[in-house]
Amino acid sequence: MNEAVPAVPASAESMAKQGCEKLGLDTFDALVRRARTCRRFDESMRVPREFLLELAELAHLAPCGANAQRLRFHVVCGAEDCARVFDELTWAGALKDWSGPDEGERPTGYIAILAERAVPGKPAAPITEVDTGIAAQTMMLAARSATPEVAACMFKAFTPHAIAAMGIDNDKYELKLIMAFGVPAETQVIDAIDSNPDGSINYWRDEAQVHHVPKRPLADAVVTRRCGTIRRQNHHKGARLLRGDARGGRVADLYLVRHGQTELNVKNILQGWHDSPLTARGREQALATRAAFEDRGVTFDRVYSSPLGRARCTAELIVGEGRSIELVDDLREWHLGSLEGTSNREMPAQPWGDYPVAFGGESESELRARMVTALSRIMARPRHDCVLAVSHGSACQEFLRCVTGRGEQPDNGAVLHFGYFDGAFSLLGW
């Protein structure tokens, strides 16, 4: 007897559905579809502290980078404490006419996801961003699997005062995410990508107050390999690609570090090509950076530094004695001519543009061009998969501006992590 030939799936979605059925993933599929962000809760049914602690335990057991376990969790469940956290949150940016849940519909518990800072006041290791996402989704799925169900809302939009409202030391911990929990009092559904009446892909509510979440079809989300060279796209918010010397498809990491604090930094004196020794604080910053790299298992193929003493000393403290450091003139600080050695307080507000040229210095565009050229040439070299480069505040700022369009100057000792692929840079972490 001839066997029936299975019907050919009509779409990527139908193939995925068949796969779920065959592999026994139906239950988990339903859980994922149900675990949507909830913004209105039944406040008469409070989430017990024990339940929140169990969620934190599950998040703690989830995978994390290098098993470093840098995340910490703070549970909030009392009515007064919940009210203080609620006041620091921003709700549903896409719902312009809705400022957040009314009394009686607010969360009854929170879990703050925190990351330990390697250096007080400095950002936590970039990998904690990944760890945070894993922990948050673990808790959201776990909550939805409970009986009765508990729903969650993830908050990255909170005020700078949120961590203080919870009584947590901001110098020691960086607040990554706030998870709000409660018994759901609204219905959320996954809908077609073009379901929103305004034509956008924003979530929306219908007249019955059902919350619709437009999702692209799987066929639009699955990327297939094309013939020829595989190219990685950069999706970092605000990032731009800088074209340099093309290289054969290797992905590499560039860690660009600003030197530690100097004596002239403390005095607010313009340094430029003038030099100044590191303070005790500056040396501590460099050693803390070394410890952070060691904790993450980061090892460098090559090390580069500006030839100015403050940068070279920082590089030596980071990589230790005996390690070869190549000095690159173009990694120097902005040359400010006769302005060097004068008070920073007397300078006009940035951007300075061509202002230093009249004093025998270089223009902002000249600084930017030499930094881009120098780092592009370095990263284009073979066997440069992980590179450390130590430079200066304005020099790092201009390179960052080229990659991201943003012009913040990094603090002393700051580490900027860039990806480099096929002649292009992208900011991965700061």
Q: Which residue, among 274, 303, 247, 268, has the nearest Cα to 412 in the 3D structure?
A: 268
Any idea how long the chain is? 430
State the alpha helices, DSSP H only, in 320-413. Answer: 364-379, 393-404
Torsion of CA 322, 300, 114, 50, to 10 degrees: -100
Pairing relationship of beta strands 424-429 and 326-327 according to DSSP bridges? unpaired
| SS3 state at 173 | strand
> What token pair was written down for 21?
């059925």
> What token pair was written down for 416?
């900027």
Distance CA 90, CA 100 (A): 8
What are the CA-CA distances from residue 59 to residues 30, 154, 318 (Å)?
21, 14, 33
> What token pair was written down for 402?
């080229």
How many CB atoms are closer than 10 A to CB 228? 6
> What token pair was written down for 341?
């050695």
Pairing relationship of beta strands 71-76 and 326-327 according to DSSP bridges? unpaired
Longest dimension (CA), the chain: 94
How many CB atoms are closer than 10 A to CB 97? 6
Cis omega (within 30 of 0) for bond into 356: no
Cis omega (within 30 of 0) for bond into 148: yes
Catalytic sites, residue numbers: 259, 333
> What token pair was written down for 333?
């600080």
Residues 404/393, Cβ–Cβ less than 8 Å = no
Indicate the helix (H) or strand (E) that contains 417: strand 415-421
Distance CA 307, CA 245 (A): 24
